[in-house]
Amino acid sequence: MRSGLTALGIIIGVASVVAMVAVGNGAQNRIESEVASLGQNLLSIFAGSRRTGGVSSGIGSASALTLADAEAVAREVTDVIQMSPEATTTAQAIANGRNTSTTIAGESPGYLKIRDWKLASGSMFDDKDVRSASKVAVIGSKTATDLFGPMNPIGQIVRVSNIPFVIIGLLESKGAGMGGQNQDDRIVVPYTTVMKRITGEKYLRCINVQISSSKRMDAAQEQITSLLRQRHRLSEGKDNDFNIFNQKEIADTVNNISKVITLLLGSIGGISLLVGGIGIMNIMLVSVTERTREIGIRIAVGAQPGDIRLQFLIEAITLSLLGGGIGVLAGIGASRIVGMVADFKPIVSTGSIILAFGVSTAIGVFFGFYPATKAAKLDPIDALRYE
Amino acid sequence: MHNTPVIQIKNLVKTYQTGGDIEVKAVRGINLDIQYGEFVAIMGASGSGKSTLMNMLGCLDQPTSGSFLLDGVDVAGLNRKQLAKVRNKKLGFVFQGFNLLSRTSALENVELPIFYSQPLVSLGEQRRRAVEALEKVGLGKRLGHHPNQLSGGQQQRIAIARALVNKPEVVLADEPTGNLDTRTSIEIMGFFQELNNSGITIVMVTHELDIAGYCKRIVVMRDGQIISDTINENRHIASQELAALDQAEHKAKLA
């Protein structure tokens, strides 16, 4: 009973380490996959914010990026493997007697590849559609449901700014993006169509490029920056009139944050392990006092001081290992429960289990050592007389 | 067989330092030789130093000065580890309060000294020797019993088995009958007499003259010194005493 309560300290400690690290890992994984859902090795070049009398009107508002810029980036930056100019606007879409306000994303055919996005059915428009500014659309799953319900949208007509588009493809659902907006609420059309037929703008909102490898991201970002500064004739000391959104940077930041969180959660568990260890020391000290007579007998019949120390050390380690074992099970159980409640899956790593076992053994040794040594040093005469 | 005594004590002194500078001379220069095969009672009132002497004989305590040869080895200069080895190999202890481990069986209690023996003894051999020792004291059928399931006499017999299991040179008994009734006391003394007859040296501390009467030699201490050392001429024989006790009980029942 008392041993059980003592072991409880270790149980809670180990369980919280295992569970918290699992939750931390799970959260990290979830965030990573969210970042990855943006696409592979993505750099997005946004037109810079326009300043009017000290008021910044937000990214993409400046009219700075041109199609020529986009083509120059694709042509001159060595590590770019895909490029998709983007011209986006918001418009009312009408179809099937319903209407919805949605994002009209003007993209190139490479966009899906860059964003690592697949079609649920139908097909993507091609370069010919871009050249001719065709009135074809690929529709996001939420917009599809808003407009058509369960009906298959492919082949249907959707009217955007009074222009009829033929729906040729349906995107797979991707869920909420980094900013929290629903990525599935959009209609993707050729960028030329947006520029020529809907907005009449000559400027792009953004250029998405895919870089050959994550290692080349930073180098590519530098190349693009100097290329665009040159093209925009920005003299030294002047701010960029564009912003580059580096997926790797975001991913790194997010990773660092979640690592810190995992560490924080783990160290909370670590503190309870420490408290558990002190509990073990306490019970072992009580045990040594209570069993003074037994120790005296053992010494009298010829036990070496080392034998006595070993006996109590083994007891302390057994106690903490037992606690560790139960704690690991409890930790796995707790992370399962968290997994049911939260919208991500906690990952119980073997590493954290081994660590928990290792630490609880170490705690047994560390906190058992003093009581065990105390027992070994008892004077046999006093110990035998002890009541 | 042996030319030298098993215990040779010369000018043995033990002084305790109690609170501040007060010195208590518990044992003040004792000379005592005990031969192999003797059965010695050490008697004395409390405070006579007999327990202190016993602790030193049992290698549980070190003398302040003087020499103590046990089986030819000078024990006075040994450290804790070496003393533990001497206790394990050469000495067997029987205590007033039995001092058995209460949560372990009779068998495991008796195995304890072998468990701490060096070189290590295999588990099977440990068991075999412990069973043998328990059979010797007539408890061969109570191997698995725990001390609290047994009577005082039976517990003391386990303690005797434990004392014997490593085949010691000397068995030291500290008031072995102090917690027992008359009949059981005589039974236990009978055991000691049998053991002594088989050649084992026994040194016993007691303050009861009756009990000392079963020994071959009686040493009396007072104020840390030996005041008399005599051969017990009219020694009690436990088997006869028991028979007498039976008769007395029989008569009492008839009356």
Regions of chain B with pLDDT less than 70 = 1-2
Q: Which of B61, B99, B166 sits opposite A297 (nearest CB)?
A: B99
What is the sign, positive or negative, of the torsion defined by CA atoms of B53, B59, B65, B68?
A: positive
Residue A243 backbone dihedrals phi, psi, to 5 degrees: -125, 140
Residue of B nearest to A380 (CA): B60
Laid out side by side, the sheet with B225-231 consists of: B91-94, B170-174, B201-205, B39-43, B217-222, B225-231
What does the alpha-carbon distance between residue A188 and residue A114 come to, in Å, rounded to a whole number? 14
Residues A217, B185: Cα–Cα separation, whole Å: 94
What per-residue confidence (pLDDT) applies to A63? 59
- Tell me, yes or no, whether B133 lies in a domain: yes
Given CB atoms, is A132 within the 8 Å cutoff of chain B?
no
Does A301 contact B61 at a Cβ distance shorter than 8 Å?
no
- The residue of A301, A310, A384 whose CB has the most chain B CBs within 10 angstroms, and thus the best one to mutate to test that interface, is A301
The DSSP letter of residue A235 is P
- Is residue B24 a contact partner of residue B15, using CB atoms and an 8 Å limit? yes
- Among residues B217, B173, B179, which one has the least CA distance to residue B195? B173
Return the pLDDT at B158: 92
pLDDT score at A346: 81
Separation in Å, CA of A323 to nearest CA in chain B: 23
Residue B230 lies in a domain: yes
Residue in A294, A300, A381 closest to B87 by CB:
A300
With beta carbons under 8 A apart, name residues in chain B contacting A302. Answer: 84-85, 87-89, 113, 116-117, 166
Q: Are B201 and B37 in contact (CB under 8 A)?
A: yes
Chain B residues inside the 8 Å CB shell of A376: none
Residue B1, in any domain of the structure: no
CATH number, position B238: 3.40.50.300
When CB atoms are compared, the residue of A294, A302, A381 closest to B87 is A302
Please list the ranges in chain A whose pLDDT falls under 70.
1, 49-63, 176-181
For residue A176, the model assigns a pLDDT of: 62
Count of domains observed in chain B = 1
Question: Which residues on A lie below 8 Å from B95 (Cβ)?
Answer: 384
Q: Which residue of B has its CA nearest to A308?
A: B116
What pLDDT, on the 0 to 100 scale, is given for residue B4? 86
Report the distance separating Cα A382 and Cα A10, nearest Å: 34
Domain span at B214: 7-254
Yes or no, beta carbons of A302 and B89 under 8 Å apart: yes
Q: Is residue B126 domain-resident?
A: yes
Q: CA triplet B38, B197, B10: central angle to 5 degrees?
A: 10
Is the CB of A300 less than 8 angstroms away from the CB of B100? no
Q: How far is Cα A73 from Cα A137, in angstroms, rounded to an integer?
A: 26
Give B131-144 as a 3 state SS string: HHHHHHCCCCCCCC
Determine the pLDDT at residue A178. 56
pLDDT for the residue A255: 79
Domain annotation covers residue B67:
yes
**A306 interaction partners in chain B (CB closer than 8 Å):** 81
Kindly calculate the radius of gyration of chain A based on its CA atoms and give it in whole angstroms: 33
**Which residue bears the tokens 């917009």?**
A143
Give the pLDDT confidence score for residue B61 in this predicted structure: 87
Backbone φ and ψ of A89, nearest 5°: -145, 170
d(CA B132, nearest CA chain A) in Å: 18
Across the strands, what pairs with A166?
Answer: A136, A157
Asked whether the ipTM of the predicted complex exceeds the cut of 0.85, the reply is yes
Q: Give the nearest chain A residue to B83 (CA atoms).
A: A302
